[in-house]
Amino acid sequence: MNRGQTVFSQIMDFIPMYEFRKCVQRYRGNYKVQSFSCWNQFLCMAFAQLTYRESLRDIESCLNSMQSKLYHMGFRGSIPRSTLAYANETRDWRIYADFAQVLIHIARGLYKDDEFGVELDNTVYALDSTTIDLCLSLFPWAQFRKQKGAIKLHTLLDLRGNLPSYIRITDGKVHDVNILDDLIPEPGSYYIMDRGYVDFARLYTLTQFCAFFVTRAKTNLQFRRLYSHPVDRALGLRCDQTIVLTGFYSSKGYPDKLRRTRYYDAETDKLLTFLSNSFIIPAFTIAQLYKCRWQVELFFRWIKQHLRIKSFYGTSKNAVKTQIWIAISVYVLVAIIKKRLDVDLSLYTILQIMSVTAFEQVPIIQVLTNFGYRADEHDSDKQLLLIDL
């Protein structure tokens, strides 16, 4: 039941406060802090993400214009932009990174039984990265090119629910394949990657952990065919082979057998060659799995369009990482609300509704279910005629 809470306050009620306090205590986030705590910082930054605030001045003016409702939204006192800027510069970004992982763990439990388009009981991840361009003069620490700065957002996306299970923020110079060194493979899981992650020594590590991968083969792949298996050409398959690598370095890096599958994509008129270490699923399923890799591209596009991760409120590395991790937390929090309230709306629609109703004091379930226009049947006969025929 709604007790006068604003929609924003009801959104924040879905946050596990005990876990948030543990993250703050882990890095002593409130050490010598008298008024503007880590929780107030999180509220301000989450509000900025939900309502599309453009700058610190925008956040300050918007919140302070609603002084009568700030207390009921969880804020304590006014919000000076200098205080928020200082908090973003000095408070350890790992507080919000750890808390985002807490929310991700909760959300993955809610979405674990969702379908993703392929009949497979295993957990399936899509691994990729996106580049966020930065001005090198404002962000000198974000080295990328000689006259251009950038950071990379490396993401391992769980395809059941399209939830990020692992995220790492690096400067633009870090090559994608290096992220494989940081992953802890889950036995029995599938990792879908593009050709940028083809490093046979690292891929062999996945095999040793009893994890499976599906990736595109490079055009200069050196191999020897051991067996050929029958395929259904009506499905677009062209070959299904068991191979071993013959290149000097590749054979040392991956001494085991591999599966090479060729598939003709009629939509793009391309012949695609896949490599995998899984010999237990049909060849067509390999092509389907790789097609699902596009979900991580859609995830990057979504967060860039609907969250504030391309323009930043601070220029330091700590401020940038803080903003990105809180943006990820907001994305996952919206996904949790969608599942717990059983709302049949897209995340985009839910976020749009929340952005214009943050200060409203109505039940959140009412906001998310009764947003359509409904004509009053009793007033329909009172419409005046504009033209008397």
| Residue 41: CB atoms within 10 Å | 24
State yes or no: pLDDT of 375 exceeds 70.
no
78 three-class SS: coil
Compute the C-alpha angle 163/106/42, nearest 5°: 85
Do 287 and 320 belong together in one domain?
A: no
| 217 belongs to a structural domain | yes
Do 281 and 360 belong together in one domain?
A: no
CB 102 within 8 A of CB 23: yes
Do 287 and 326 belong together in one domain?
A: no
**Residue 316 to residues 2, 90, 141, 147, 186: CA-CA distances in angstroms?**
40, 9, 8, 18, 34
Do 280 and 204 belong together in one domain?
A: yes
Q: What is the pLDDT of residues 193-231, one digit of tens each?
A: 999 999 999 999 999 999 999 999 999 999 999 999 999
Alpha carbon dihedral 138, 141, 146, 148, in 10-degree steps, equals -50
pLDDT recorded at residue 371: 55
227 three-class SS: strand
| 303 belongs to a structural domain | no
- Which residue, of 292, 324, 348, is where some domain finishes? 292
Q: What domain range includes position 229?
A: 194-292
| Residue whose C-alpha is closest to residue 84's, from 65, 66, 47, 59 | 59
| 276 belongs to a structural domain | yes
| Average pLDDT of the residues of the chain | 90
Distance CA 68, CA 144 (A): 46
pLDDT recorded at residue 338: 94
Do 267 and 200 belong together in one domain?
A: yes
Complete DSSP assignment for 301-326: HHHHHHSS-SS-S--SHHHHHHHHHH
Distance CA 135, CA 148 (A): 6
Binning the chain into helix, strand and coil, the percentages to the nearest 5 are 45, 20, 40
At residue 33 the predicted structure's pLDDT band, cuts being 50, 70 and 90, is confident
CB 137 within 8 A of CB 196: no
| 387 belongs to a structural domain | no
Do 278 and 329 belong together in one domain?
A: no
The CB-based long-range contact list for 133-139 (8 Å cut-off, 24+ gap) reads 133/310, 134/312, 138/315, 139/315, 139/320
- Both tokens of residue 229? 């298996």
- The pTM of the full predicted model, rounded to 2 decimals, is 0.90
| Residue whose C-alpha is closest to residue 277's, from 382, 389, 198, 361 | 198
Which of 70-74, 157-161, 182-186 shows the lowest per-residue confidence on average (mean pLDDT)?
70-74
| 285 belongs to a structural domain | yes
Do 13 and 78 belong together in one domain?
A: yes
| 188 belongs to a structural domain | no
- Both tokens of residue 111? 């979405």
Total number of domains in the chain:
2
| 103 belongs to a structural domain | no
Compute the C-alpha angle 120/126/131, nearest 5°: 165
Do 280 and 358 belong together in one domain?
A: no
Do 216 and 262 belong together in one domain?
A: yes
| 246 belongs to a structural domain | yes
212 three-class SS: strand
| Residue whose C-alpha is closest to residue 33's, from 22, 45, 41 | 41
State yes or no: pLDDT of 8 exceeds 80.
yes
Q: What contacts 364, CB < 8 A, 6 or more positions away?
A: 7, 10, 11, 337, 341
State yes or no: pLDDT of 167 exceeds 50.
yes
Span 68-93, mean pLDDT? 86
Do 325 and 270 belong together in one domain?
A: no
- The proportion of the chain whose per-residue pLDDT surpasses 70, expressed as a percent, equals 94
H helix intervals, 240-316: 248-253, 283-291, 294-306
Amino acid in the structure at residue 188: G
Do 286 and 217 belong together in one domain?
A: yes
State yes or no: pLDDT of 89 exceeds 60.
yes
Distance CA 373, CA 353 (A): 14
At residue 387 the predicted structure's pLDDT band, cuts being 50, 70 and 90, is very low
Do 212 and 285 belong together in one domain?
A: yes
Amino acid in the structure at residue 48: A
